[in-house]
Each structure stands twice: as structure tokens, then as C-alpha cells.
Amino acid sequence: MAFAAFSSTAPSATAAPSTDPVARRRSPVALFLLLPGILYLVLFFLTPLVSLLLTSFQSPREFGDIGQFDYAFRWQNYVEVVTTYWPHIVRSFSYALAATFFALLISYPLAYFIGVKARKWPLLQSLMLVLVIAPFFISFLLRTLAWKQLFSDESFVVQSLKALSLLGPEAHVTGTAFSVIFGLTYNFIPFMTLPLYTTLERLDVRYLEAGNDLYASPFQVFRKITIPLSMPGIVAGTLLTFIPAAGDYINASRDFLGGTGTQMMGNVIEANFLVLQNYPSAAALSIILMTVILVIVSIYVKRSGTEELL
């Protein structure tokens, strides 16, 4: 599983400074083996990034058509997008934060059950893991559309809620902040659960017993021992949820669970690139999104004491 890569950087009990002379010796073979990776990064990461950065400073061509721009250093692009789209920027990060929080709230007990409680029954463990991963077999677009159906005004869910007066007669579920955050949470639960599972699965229950033996109540054991020991999984899971959720444009899109009032940065970038053909604005927004995520993530990882992940 790809997530194992995250958990393997966890501070293991045997982690000691490597003094192995073989590992430290530089060899041309190692560089040669790195070459494909470096080439790949240059071609598919560095080049588009530089291109994006250059595009974000472009200025409109004089007397040109819509969508025609020249390379320049028009930093005002950034000021313009921030003043125009700041509600979308704020919305993006608050929705992503809320979705991450709810996903963690749902995934942690789930991962704890699969990884710790179900150890005695390996079959149940595998079955539950399959259930977590099974939604991936259907495109997330279809699954999100299905939720749109379930939350539509004529749906059984909404009709029942209205019949019970839990929802006003004129109220909708789709197109609200609730449905967008719901969709984000739903779509990212597997990304939260799997890294949590990999760390919890290796959680040594003898530490929990030792905590119990040292007068810690079950709640204190959870707070003082289980949570700190599963921190690598929590960090990996929240990052895997927060980063894509902040840039997501499917759930918040009007075609899916969102509405005019729930547009996120991803939707704005999409509109600017594909509809308005305002490439510099879209590029500037992308750069802003990337930078803010990078800053937030660095602070987060530093604060949580799992620098090994960076």
C-alpha cells in the first residue's frame, strides 16, 4: 500500500542514528539509480511549476483577443485575485479544515477497531479493510453524483426530513455548505483511515498495559499513550485529506453537491482556466493555493513533532 511509505517514517523503537559506513559512502551507482527519478521530477514537476509561475505574471496582449497574453512581470495579478476571490480562499481552507476534522473523528475509531481491537480476528480485519477500500472501485464522480441524488429535493432523505419538520419546507440540502463538507468528508475517509490503520496496527498494546499498570485510566491511556504513539498516522492522514480537500473542485461544483454560495478555490481556478480563459489569474490563484498549503503544512508538521515526514 502506498500509505506504508508514510508510516515507515514513524519514529520506531529502534530508531538510532545510522552509523553504517556502507550507507554513508557515496557511490556513482546510487546517483545513476537516482537519474530516472530526477528526470521525471524535472519533466513533470519542475517544468510545469516554472511555466505556471511565468503564466501567473503574464499581462493581456494589447488589442488581442480574449485568452491572449504576453510574458511580463505583472504582479498586480496577485492583488487582483486576492481582492476578488478572498471569500473563496477563506471558504476553501475552512471547508477543508472541517472535512479533515470530521474525517479524523470518523476514521480514528474505525482504524482503531480494525488495527487494534480486531487483531484477534484476522478475517474480520481483512474484511473491514476491504470495505474501507471498496468504494475506490467506483469512480468518485459517480459516488458524488449518487449523493447528489440522495440529497436532492425530491429524495427520500429530504422528504422524510421535511415530513419530520427537521427541515423547513423551502430548505435544500444540495448547494449548501453542509453537503459540500459532507461530500469532502465522505470522499477522503479512506485516505484518513488507511495511514491511521498502518500506525495503529503496529501499536504495541504492551505500552497500553504499562500505562494501565501505572494508574492511568483508560481515557488517560488513550490521551497520553495511544494518541502520541499514533501521531505519525494522524499527521499523514490529515495531510492526505487536507491538501487535496483544499484544492477540490468536484464536491463544491454546482454540477455535484455545491451551489453558487459554496464555490471553492478549485472552482474559481477551473472557471478562469477553462471558461473565462483568464490564464494569469488562474495561475496566480494556483500559486497562492500551493503556497498557503505549504506554509500551513510546515507549521503543522513542525508543531506535531513529526518532522521526519517532511
Partner 1 sequence: MTIGAFADRGADLQLVGIEKRFPGFTAIENLNLTIPAGSFFALLGPSGCGKTTTLRLVAGLEEPTGGRILIGGADVTNQKSFQRPVNTVFQSYALFPHMTVLENVAFGLRRRKIGDPVAKAHEALLLVELDHLAHRRPQQLSGGQQQRVALARAIVNRPALLLLDEPLGALDLKLRRQMQLELKTIQEEVGLTFLHVTHDQEEAMTMADIIAVMNKGRIEQMGEPQQLYELPKTAFVANFLGQSNLFTGPVVSTTGTAIAVDVSGQKIVVPLERAHRVSGAVTIGVRPEKLTLHDVAPTYSDGRNVLGPGRVIDVSFSGVSTQYLVAVPGIGTLVVFAQNMAFGPAAHVGAEVWLSWNVNHGFGLDDDPTDAPRFEADLDTKTIAQQRRSSLITEFEEA
Which residues contact partner 1 (rule: CB under 8 A)? 11, 13-16, 204, 206-207, 209-218, 220, 224-225, 228-229, 231
Nearer to partner 1, 14 or 83 (CB): 14
Sign of torsion over alpha carbons 172, 241, 3, 29: positive
Angle of helix 231-247 relative to helix 76-115, nearest 10 degrees, comes to 140
CB-nearer residue toward partner 1: 17 or 168: 17
Task: Tell me how far, at minimum, the Cβ of 232 lies from partner 1, in Å.
Answer: 11
Residue 52 contacts residue 283 (beta carbons within 8 Å)? yes
Q: Where is 69: in which H helix or E strand?
A: strand 69-70
Residue found under cell 471547508: 95
Q: Which CB atom, from 11 or from 87, has the smaller least distance to partner 1?
A: 11
Tell me the closest approach of the beta carbon of residue 202 to partner 1, in angstroms.
12
- The nearer residue to partner 1, 232 or 280, going by C-beta atoms, is 232
Taking the complex as a whole, the smallest distance from the CB of residue 212 to partner 1 amounts, in Å, to: 4
State the burial class of residue 151 (Cβ atoms within 10 Å of its Cβ: 0-12, 13-18, 19+): buried
N-terminal to C-terminal alpha carbon distance within the chain: 19
C-beta separation of 11 from 308 below 8 A: yes
In whole angstroms, the minimum distance from the beta carbon of 305 to partner 1 comes to 9
Q: Residue 11 or residue 67: which is nearer to partner 1 going by CB?
A: 11
C-alpha cell at 236: 499523514
Is-contact 252 177, C-beta < 8 A? no
CB of 229 to partner 1, least distance (A): 6
Min dist CB 216 to partner 1, Å, is 5
Closer by beta carbon to partner 1, 209 or else 255: 209
Rounded to whole angstroms, the Cα distance separating 34 from 16 reads 25
Residue with cell 497520553: 224
Q: Which is nearer to partner 1, 90 or 205 (CB)?
A: 205
Q: How far is the CB of 231 from partner 1 (least distance, A)?
A: 8
Q: How far is the CB of 123 from partner 1 (least distance, A)?
A: 14
Sign of CA dihedral 100, 105, 111, 112: positive
The answer for residues whose C-beta is within 8 angstroms of residue 130's C-beta and 6 or more apart is none
**Comparison of 62 and 213: residue with beta carbon closer to partner 1:** 213
Report d(CA 20, CA 27) in Å as an integer.
Answer: 15
